[in-house]
Amino acid sequence: MQVFKFGGASVKDAAGIKNIATVLNETGVTEKLVVISAMGKTTNAMEAIVNAYLNDKILLPEHLKATVDYHTQIASDLFTPGHTIFTSLKALFEELKGFLAWNKSPKYDFVYDQIVSYGELLSTTIVSAYLTDQGVRNTWLDARTILKTDNSYRDGRIDWDITQLAIKESVDPTALSITQGFIASDSNNFTTTLGREGSDYTGGIFAYCLNACSLTIWKDVPGVLNGDPRVFNNTELLHQIPYEEAIELAFYGASVIHPKTLQPLQRKEIPLYVKSFLNPKNPGTMVSAVASLVPEVPCYIVKKSQILISLSSLDFSFMVEDNIAEIFQLLALYKLKVDLIQNSAISFSLCVDNKFNGLEKLVNQLKGKFKVTVTPNVHLYTIRHFNQNALDNFQEGKEVLLKQATQNTVQLVTQN
Ligand code: ASP
Ligand code: MG
C-alpha cells in the first residue's frame, strides 16, 4: 500500500484538483491512501475567521464569505450546476456557522481547532466528489474518527495505540481512501490539529500504521533541493537522503519536510519520496536508509529574523557552569529556542529564535547580572557538508558576526 500527501499548493484551484486525478490515474487508483491539505492559503483564511470571531466580530461575515466564495467557485469550475457537491459544501458551512453560534469557550486554541479544521474537510470533500465523477472509486474518511490525540489543541499528541487500531478498522488497504491532513480529535471527540504544516505528519502516521511501502509528498518543486531556491542561487536536486541527514536538515531549519514526519518512517524503514505533482514520472528525492547523500553536495539552510545575544559577566566571574546554568533556565522559562551557542572565558554568545516573544523579559532579567548586547534581525546560515570553496564563496560580501564549525557543519550568523 502507498500513502500520498498533496499539500495546499496542489489543490489551490480547479486545475490542481484535475491534476490529482491525473497523478492517481498514472500511478494507480487502488491500494492507496491519499492525505490532502486545505486548498491554497485556506488555513490562513480560517485563522482570520478565528481572530474575527474572538476579537472583532464585525469582520466575521466578510471573512466567512471569502472562504465560502473561494470553495464555491472552485466547485463551480469542476461540477455542473445542481451537483450534490453544492449540498455537501453547504452542510459543512452550516456546521461551521452552527459552531460559531453555540460555542461558549473563549479559549483560543480550542476554538482555533474547531474552526480551522473545516479547511481540510472542504478540500477533501471536493476532491473525493471530483474523483467519483471521473469514475475513480474512492472512500472519503473523516480523519477525526481515526487519528486520536490528547487535548493539546493546536499541538495534538498522537495516541499511537488507539490510532493504530482505528486505522486497521477503517482503512481498506486494497482500495483508494481520501482523508484530511492536519486534523484529529481528542477523547471527547473535539477536533484537534497537529500544528501548522502538520499534513506531512498525518501522511507519516498513516504510512507507519498501515506498514505502507512508501509515503510520497507531492509538491510544486522537483524534490528536495540543497537550498531554498528563493534564497540561494544554483540549487541542485538531492536524489537520495539518508533519514538521519533529513532529520538534521529539518532540525537546522530546512522547511521542505515537517520534522515530526521522519521518525515514524525511519522506525519502519518506509521510504519517503518528495516529487513534483507536475512531473509525476520524475523520480524526485528519496529519503531512506541509504548510506549517504547523493549527490554529496553542500546543503544550505537559512533561518531569518534570529537574535544574537552576547553576554559577559559584570563581576569578573568566568562564564562557566553556574552562570551558564542560570542563563539556560531563563531561556527555558521565556521559551526562547536556542539555535547556536559559543563561549569563551569571559563571554557567551547565543543565537535565538524569539517565536514566543519572551526576549524582552529575558534581557531585562539578564541585565541584572551580565553585560548584555542584543543584535536583532540576524540571519543564521547552516551549511552541511561544506568545503572550503563553498564556504569562501558563501561568505563573500557578508558581514559574519559569529562562526562555528564542526567536521560536517558550519554555522554563520550574519548581519545580512
Ligand atoms: N493546512 C495546514 C497548514 O496550512 C496543514 C498543512 O497544510 O500541512 O498548516
Ligand atoms: Mg504544506
Domain end call among 212, 238, 259: 212
Q: Which residue is it, cell 519536510?
A: 257
How many A from CA of 161 to the centre of ligand 1? 24
Do the domain assignments include residue 259? no
Do the domain assignments include residue 246? no
Torsions phi, psi of 12, nearest 5?
-80, -15
Q: Do residues 150 and 158 touch, judged by C-beta distance below 8 A?
A: no
- Which pLDDT belongs to residue 230? 85
Beta strands in 314-369 (DSSP E): 337-343, 347-353
How many A from CA of 198 to the centre of ligand 1? 6
What gap in Å lies between CA 352 and CA 373, rounded to an integer? 13
What gap in Å lies between CA 248 and CA 131, rounded to an integer? 38
Q: Do residues 352 and 307 touch, judged by C-beta distance below 8 A?
A: yes
Handedness of CA 38, 39, 44, 49 (dihedral sign): negative
Do the domain assignments include residue 228? no
| Residue to mutate, 5, 6, 34, 43, ligand 1, most ligand atoms under 8 Å from C-beta | 43
- Which pLDDT belongs to residue 231? 86
Q: Do residues 139 and 178 touch, judged by C-beta distance below 8 A?
A: yes
Domain hosting residue 160, numbered range: 2-212
**pLDDT for residue 394 is more than 90:** no
199 lines ligand 1 (CB under 6 A): yes
What gap in Å lies between CA 50 and CA 57, rounded to an integer? 10
* pLDDT tens-digit series, residues 18-46: 999 999 999 999 999 999 999 999 999 99
264 lines ligand 1 (CB under 6 A): no
**pLDDT for residue 416 is more than 80:** no
Same domain, 305 and 202: no
Residue 359: which CATH number? 3.30.2130.10
Omega before 295 within 30 of 0, i.e. cis: yes
**pLDDT for residue 126 is more than 80:** yes
Ligand nearest to the CA of 198: 1
Nearest-CA residue for ligand 1 atom 8 is 197
Do the domain assignments include residue 277? no
**Reported pTM:** 0.89
113 lines ligand 1 (CB under 6 A): no
* pLDDT tens-digit series, residues 253-307: 777 777 789 999 999 999 999 999 999 999 999 999 999 999 999 999 999 999 9
How many structural domains compose the chain? 2
